[in-house]
Structures are given as structure tokens and as C-alpha cells.
Amino acid sequence: MKNKLIMVLLFALADILAAQTKITENKDAFGLVVHGGAGYIYKGRYTNEEESAYKNKLQEAIDTGYAVLSRNGSALNAVEKTIHILEDSPLFNAGKGAVMTSEETVELDAAIMDGSNLKAGAVAGIKHIKSPISLARTVMEKSPHVFMIGEGAEKFGLDNGMEKVENSYFYTEKTLEEIRKIKEEEKKRDQSYIYKDENKYGTVGCAALDKHGNLAAGTSTGGMVNKKFGRVGDVPVIGAGTYANNFTAAMSCTGHGEFFIRNVVAHDISSLIQYKGMKLNDAAKEVIMEKLLKQNGRGGVIGIDAQGNITMVFNTDGMFRGYKLNNGKSFVGMYKE
């Protein structure tokens, strides 16, 4: 009897030690993963100069966020700062350079989520605030709400000191040319036309793990080119395009938003981790490569978990993406490799 008790106690002790090792295994891990959209991104489409421009900008964004994390900054700050670099670049479909609506205007959506407490902020239909991701963060931190849209969201941002710009600030020659080409095509076809061949979903997003073990995710976009004005995509729908939970993962999606909303993609991946015990990358593959693909839903997801495991899964030709982890691993790429 006494021996049996000792054995039981020894096994219990071994279990506790094993569990502790597991928790502390990667307790120092930190890093971030970034995307600049998925879509028709294949070898041969871009010149060497264009490739370098995309990769350099992604690297700059990654380095900016990583610097925040190395200085002991929060995952939330890293996500916001990383996304600022991509919003300010005309290369991506977010902030300056965002795609145009059917009315030849720009309407921006963004969301941010704090995995440590499940707080979230989201905005949609933004036309005059320079940084939608910062507006989303302001909604999360300074309002009692999660999701604000249009004029009300903008007024709230301005009242909180955010920078106002004309809608034309977001236009570029490339996006104007693109929408005009589509309009001509529509006239020819005499019907509403989604410009599929060239359509790349250049949304930007970031998921980060900080030194305190906290996760955060953020996404910012102009949506889909030639969208009807007033259309809102998956990006600001918490759980669809953006989600973070310290106990599962932080994720940001890009792709054909309607599919990501209908499949609640980011939360679906989180649920596979939480309820089925799946690993982040396996869960992401299950949703993006199986579930979405069966419906012909195109796009991808990037994510990181609290142990510093990452995912960058896409079912399109390519995805602008990259990561940097404190174990020395880092990557920037755009094609399938």
C-alpha cells in the first residue's frame, strides 16, 4: 500500500515536471509573421526591380516590428508599427495604394486584436483617416465598442487626434488605371465585372508574439477592386480575417473576403487548435487547403502561436509574406517555394 502511494506520487511529480518543461520550453520565444496579400503572384509576373521593391518593403516592415519586440515592446505595438510601413507604401492594397471601389473612391477596412484579453477593434468604410489600423486600435482602447464604420468611426478618430487626409491621398496612378480598365471592360461586357486575371488580394497583415508571451494580430485593406461602395470584407470581421487568442494563435488572412466571412476562417483555425488539439500549421492547412479550396475560396493566412510556431499557408499562386523569430530564423518571399 505504502509503495503504491509512493509510486502514484512519483508519477504525479513526473507529470508536473513534464508539463512545466513544456510550458517553459519556448518561454523566451518571440517574433512576428507578416503578409502583403495573396493572389496571382507567380514567377514571371514581376520584373526584378518590382520583386526587390516588394521584398525590401516587407523586410522593412518585419524589421520595424521585430525591433519593437526585441526592445521588450508589446505584440500590439509591433503589429501596429509593422502595418504602418505597409499602409504607407503604395505597393500594397492598404492605406496609400489601396484598390478602388466601383465609384472610383477608396474605402478602407482594418482590425486589430489583443490575444491576452480578447479585446478587439475594427473599422470599415474609412475614407479620410490616414492609418486605418491605428483607428482600429483607438476603437479598441478608447471606445466601449469593437466595431465602428464610416463617418462615425472617422469622427471618433479625429476626436482622438488621428490624422485626416483627402480620399485622393490613397489614389495612385496604378489603382486609377486599374479601375478605369475594369470600367471599360464592364462596358464591353455590359455587366458588372470582377477583374479576376489581375486580381491580387494585396491586403496587409501581421501576427506577433512578444517576450511576455502575448499574441496580437492586425489586418488592413482596401478590400477587393471594383467592390460596390459600402461593401465590407472579412478583414474587420473579428474571427473571419483577423483573430488572436493567447491560448491558440494570432492570425491575419488575405483573399476573397466573402469566403473568409462565410467560413469564419481565423476563428475556425483557432477552434481546431483549441478543441481538436491541432498544431497551428496543420489547422491552417485544413481550413485553407481543404475547406476553402473545395468552395473555390482563394487566399491565405499567416499566424503565430505562443511557442513561436508560425504558419504561412495559401491556396493561390503566391502570397507576399515573411517572418522573423528570435531563434535566428527569418524569411521573405512571394512565390510558392
Applying CB under 6 A, which residues contact ligand ASP? Answer: 37, 93, 201-203, 221, 223-224, 233-235, 241, 254-255, 257
Compare residues 69 and 85 and give the one whose CB is closer to ligand ASP: 85
Report the SS3 class of residue 335: strand
Comparing CB distances to ligand ASP, the nearer of 241 and 303 is 241
Q: Which is nearer to ligand ASP, 80 or 234 (CB)?
A: 234
Sequence-separated (6 or more) residues with CB below 8 Å from residue 261 = 233, 234, 237, 240, 241
- What backbone phi and psi angles, to 5 degrees, belong to 230? 95, -10
For 261, counting Cβ atoms within 10 Å of its Cβ (0-12 exposed, 13-18 middle, 19+ buried), the class is: middle
Q: Which is nearer to ligand ASP, 156 or 260 (CB)?
A: 260
By C-beta, is 125 or 308 nearer to ligand ASP? Answer: 125
Give the integer Cα–Cα distance in Å for 68 and 177.
37
Closest approach of ligand ASP to the CB of residue 282, in Å: 23
Integer Cα distance of 102 and 81 in angstroms: 30
Residue 320 CB, nearest approach to ligand ASP (Å): 11
Residue with cell 520583386: 51
CB of 19 to ligand ASP, least distance (A): 39
238-249 b/e (C-beta count within 10 Å ≥ 16 → b): bbbbbbbbbebb
Q: How far is the CB of 262 from ligand ASP (least distance, A)?
A: 12
Helices (H), the chain: 2-25, 48-70, 75-88, 132-142, 150-159, 173-189, 257-262, 265-276, 280-285, 293-294
- In this structure, the number of other CB atoms found within 10 A of the CB of residue 20 comes to 10
Kindly list the catalytic residues: 203
Residues facing residue 215 across a β-bridge = 209
Nearer to ligand ASP, 121 or 125 (CB): 125
122, 171, 188 from 94: Cα distances, Å: 15, 11, 29
What contacts 3, CB < 8 A, 6 or more positions away?
A: none
